């Protein structure tokens, strides 16, 4: 690691931000211990630790693998096709992350009929189906236009030329 | 460790990408923090505090923004954590005591951010599968999160200022410019460990053989060069320049693909849920936990009469509202309240969970009722509900609300008699307050100052 050069103004701003941050964080810790009973803080600690472990040990490797798969699958795709496929995969994944707990919450039971009123399973399947259709259409259109214009180079997506 | 890190090297895992996603995420967290603190103070004001009652939709806006920004944080946070993934597996893991503290502060930040977002989302679904109280923890963790975010911005400030502007971040070919003097922990997508074959794909000029798992993995991913030139290369263009521009193009395409993915996810997830709190988004409300106009009197319900334990007391024939002033105390039947003269007001119900809806209310003005017990309307009052239990059974209201001409003891909703689920025989409706303070099934109003 090369020597890090820190500008004087940056150094001052950094000290102010870190000191302020420590104070705000300490205030948060104080609010926590004064408003939440000690036996509940243990449960919270488990959730905080669990969230990091779940993200770093399970979700991240999964996303990395999907990213590599997309990169491999995308090396023969035209740029716009690859961008459409990527956007659809990311949107589909985030929607699943948001709506699957909603389905679970509804299955768990709601307090009245105006809470979670929709059939979220069907709706999620329909939206994911639309995204799959968009991906298929993009792939087909990309393949057809590439065949019609063979002189146009196929862009190697996010990969090397 | 190093191989894992090289496998993560990407044009989207640079200091510039971290700054771009970090800026958006920082804004979203700040919006959530400020709107959250506002909502908290409305519910638990310090004694001297007064709040604005105009525009009447202020809280509907701030809390809708809180939930919408919170939902937008989900894809932004995942994107940001994806960008900085190589820093997780940096070698050596800890360089100094200061570096250990910095990494610890990031662990606190990531943990509190993930828990805030997950529990906040599930709270909008009214599902609480955790062993701690939501409201208190959400409030405390907000300060922990913002504090650790300030520390993070402080420690990374040199990198943030270096890569703040696009023109300082890329060379003429569009390749990321790595500046080793600012101390970024993310790998340079242009440079690779010469002993490591993983980076060969970025240097088409060199075709040295490579071994090892990561090298094989990268060859499997990227394969042999795609047929045909990427740039309209002619024989006169030097090979190095062609390679540089091709690499710049590769990085630009990767960056645009990443931005397109994050934008699609953020816009999509917001558009399909924001209809629960915004009229503009109503037609696209596919996944919102609430649907506007659904429920008794055309309005969604949070706490039912059954859950509140008021089925018998709220429908009792001898129900009466007690209004206790310092000198005069009176009771009013529903008919006597109606006889005081009713006023119509258009005020929204805006829930802390984010859903909201405008409604037409009709009832007795709070200030008229206070005048009936010979009290100046600029007073603090305590309102008690028939509810047997629950944190909002007793509600207090400052003079800015009691004197407001739109603050009503509502008896009608959307042109119909107030439904039992919405607080029959009478409830409070006041401008700019969270739904939990619009007390239903009231039985007593007491002047306290």
Question: For residue range B28-59, what is the model confidence (pLDDT) as tens digits?
Answer: 999 999 999 999 999 999 989 999 999 999 99
Does the pLDDT at position B210 exceed 60? no
pLDDT at B204 over 60: no
User: For residue B248, is pLDDT > 80?
Assistant: yes
- In which domain, by residue range, is A79 found? 62-148
Choose the closest CB to A20 out of B107, B150, B295: B150
A64-69 contacts at long range (C-beta below 8 A, 24 or more positions apart): A64/B7, A64/B8, A64/B85, A67/B10, A67/B82, A68/B7, A68/B217, A68/B221
pLDDT at A147: 80
A124 prior amide bond cis, ω within 30: no
Any domain includes A32: no
For residue A37, tell me if it sits in a domain.
Answer: no
- Interface probe with B: pick from A35, A47, A122, A158, most Cβ of B within 10 Å: A158
Residue ranges of domains in chain B, CATH in brackets: 1-91+156-287 (no CATH), 296-447 (3.90.420.10)
Question: Between chains, do B157 and A99 touch, taking CB under 8 Å as contact?
Answer: no
Cβ–Cβ gap B158/A32 under 8 Å = no
Q: Which residues of chain A, if any, have pLDDT below 70?
A: 1-5, 149-161
Q: Is the preceding omega at residue B92 within 30 degrees of 0, hence cis?
A: yes
| Whether the predicted pLDDT of B125 surpasses 90 | yes
**Residue A159: per-residue pLDDT:** 39
Q: Is A111 a domain residue?
A: yes
Contact state of A36 with B222 under an 8 Å Cβ cutoff: no
Q: Is residue A53 part of a domain?
A: no
- Average pLDDT score, chain B: 89
Cβ of A90 and B264 within 8 Å?
yes
The A residues from 34 to 93 touching B (CB cutoff 8 Å) are: 35-36, 40-44, 46-49, 51-52, 55-56, 59-60, 63-64, 67-68, 71-72, 75-76, 79, 82-83, 86-91, 93
In angstroms, the separation between the Cα of residue A160 and the nearest Cα of chain B is 6
Candidate from B81, B140, B231 with C-beta closest to A31? B140
Cα–Cα distance list, B230 to A161, B170, B203, B304, B413 (Å): 6, 20, 14, 65, 66
Reported as a pLDDT band with limits 50, 70 and 90, residue B3 is confident
Q: Do A75 and B126 touch (CB under 8 A)?
A: no
User: Which pTM was predicted?
Assistant: 0.90
- Retrieve residue B16's tokens: 């510039």
Instruction: Assess whether pLDDT exceeds 90 at residue B350.
Output: yes
CB of B329 within 8 Å of a chain A CB? The answer is no
Classify residue A153: in a domain, yes or no: no
**pLDDT for B197:** 41
Q: Which of residues 18-37 of A touch B (CB under 8 A)?
A: 18, 20-29, 31-32, 35-36
Q: Do A86 and B258 touch (CB under 8 A)?
A: yes
ipTM of the complex: 0.89
User: The tokens 């944080």 sit on which residue?
Assistant: B73
User: What are B295-309's pLDDT values in tens digits?
Assistant: 999 999 999 999 999
Residue B183 to residue A4, Cβ atoms within 8 A: yes
Average pLDDT over residues B113-138: 96
Provide the sign of the torsion angle of the four alpha carbons B143, B146, B150, B151, taken in this order. positive
- φ, ψ (nearest 5 deg) of residue B94: -135, 130
Stretch B120-145: mean pLDDT: 96
Residue A97 lies in a domain: yes
**Nearest-CA distance B362 → chain A (Å):** 23
> Whose structure tokens read 């709506």?
A99
Q: Judge whether A160 lies within some domain.
A: no
Tally the domains of chain A.
Answer: 1
A161: burial class by Cβ within 10 Å (0-12, 13-18, 19+)?
buried
Contact B153 A17 (CB under 8 A): yes
Test A24 with B258 for CB contact under 8 angstroms: no
Residue A134 lies in a domain: yes
Give the nearest partner residue to B157 out of A17, A68, A97, using CB atoms: A17
Tokens of A161: 């030329």
């Amino acid at each position: 690691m090369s020597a890090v050069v820190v500008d004087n103004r940056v150094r001052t701003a950094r000290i102010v931000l870190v000191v302020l941050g420590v104070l705000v964080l300490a205030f948060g810790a104080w609010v926590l211990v004064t408003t939440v009973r000690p036996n509940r803080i243990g449960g919270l600690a488990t959730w905080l630790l669990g969230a990091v472990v779940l993200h770093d040990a399970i979700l991240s490797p999964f996303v990395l693998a999907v990213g590599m798969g997309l990169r491999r699958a995308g090396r023969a795709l035209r740029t716009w096709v690859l961008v459409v496929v990527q956007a659809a995969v990311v949107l589909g994944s985030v929607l699943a992350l948001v709506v699957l707990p909603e389905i679970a919450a509804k299955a768990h039971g709601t307090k009245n009929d105006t809470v979670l009123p929709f059939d979220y399973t069907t709706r999620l399947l329909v939206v994911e189906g639309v995204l799959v259709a968009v991906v298929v259409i993009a792939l087909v259109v990309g393949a057809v236009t590439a065949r019609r214009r063979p002189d146009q180079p196929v862009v190697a997506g996010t990969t090397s030329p | 460790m190093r191989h894992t890190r090289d496998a993560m090297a990407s044009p989207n895992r640079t200091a510039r990408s971290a700054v771009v996603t970090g800026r958006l995420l920082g804004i979203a967290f700040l919006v959530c923090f400020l709107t959250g603190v506002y909502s908290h103070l409305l519910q638990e004001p310090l004694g001297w505090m007064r709040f604005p009652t105009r525009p009447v939709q202020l809280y509907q806006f701030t809390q809708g923004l809180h939930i919408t920004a919170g939902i937008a944080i989900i894809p932004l946070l995942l994107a940001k954590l994806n960008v900085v993934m190589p820093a997780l597996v940096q070698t050596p893991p800890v360089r100094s005591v200061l570096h250990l503290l910095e990494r610890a502060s990031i662990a606190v930040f990531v943990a509190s951010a993930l828990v805030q977002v997950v529990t906040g989302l599930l709270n909008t679904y009214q599902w609480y599968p955790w062993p701690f109280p939501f409201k208190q923890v959400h409030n405390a963790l907000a300060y922990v999160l913002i504090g650790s975010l300030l520390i993070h911005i402080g420690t990374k400030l040199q990198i943030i200022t270096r890569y703040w502007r696009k023109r300082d971040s890329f060379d003429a070919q569009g390749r990321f410019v790595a500046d080793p003097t600012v101390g970024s922990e993310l790998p340079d997508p242009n440079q690779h460990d010469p002993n490591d074959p993983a980076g060969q794909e970025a240097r088409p000029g060199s075709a040295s053989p490579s071994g090892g798992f990561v090298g094989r993995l990268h060859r499997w991913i990227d394969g042999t060069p795609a047929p045909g030139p990427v740039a309209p290369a002619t024989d006169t263009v030097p090979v190095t320049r062609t390679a540089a521009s091709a690499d710049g193009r590769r990085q630009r395409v990767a960056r645009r693909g990443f931005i397109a993915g994050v934008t699609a996810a953020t816009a999509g997830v917001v558009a399909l849920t924001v209809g629960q709190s915004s009229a503009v988004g109503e037609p696209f409300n596919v996944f919102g936990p609430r649907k506007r106009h659904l429920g008794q009197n055309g309005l969604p319900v949070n706490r039912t009469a059954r859950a509140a334990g008021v089925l018998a007391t709220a429908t009792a024939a001898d129900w009466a509202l007690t209004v206790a002033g310092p000198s005069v105390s009176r009771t009013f039947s529903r008919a006597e309240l109606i006889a005081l003269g009713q006023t119509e007001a258009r005020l929204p119900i805006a829930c802390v969970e984010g859903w909201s809806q405008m409604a037409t209310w009709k009832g007795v003005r709070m200030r008229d009722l206070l005048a009936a017990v010979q009290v100046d309307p600029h007073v603090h009052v305590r309102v008690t509900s028939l509810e047997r239990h629950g944190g909002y059974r007793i509600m207090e209201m400052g003079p800015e609300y009691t004197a407001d001409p739109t603050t009503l003891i509502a008896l009608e909703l959307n042109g119909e008699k107030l439904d039992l689920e919405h607080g029959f025989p009478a409830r409070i409706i006041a401008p700019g307050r969270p739904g939990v303070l619009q007390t239903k099934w009231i039985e007593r109003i007491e002047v306290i100052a």
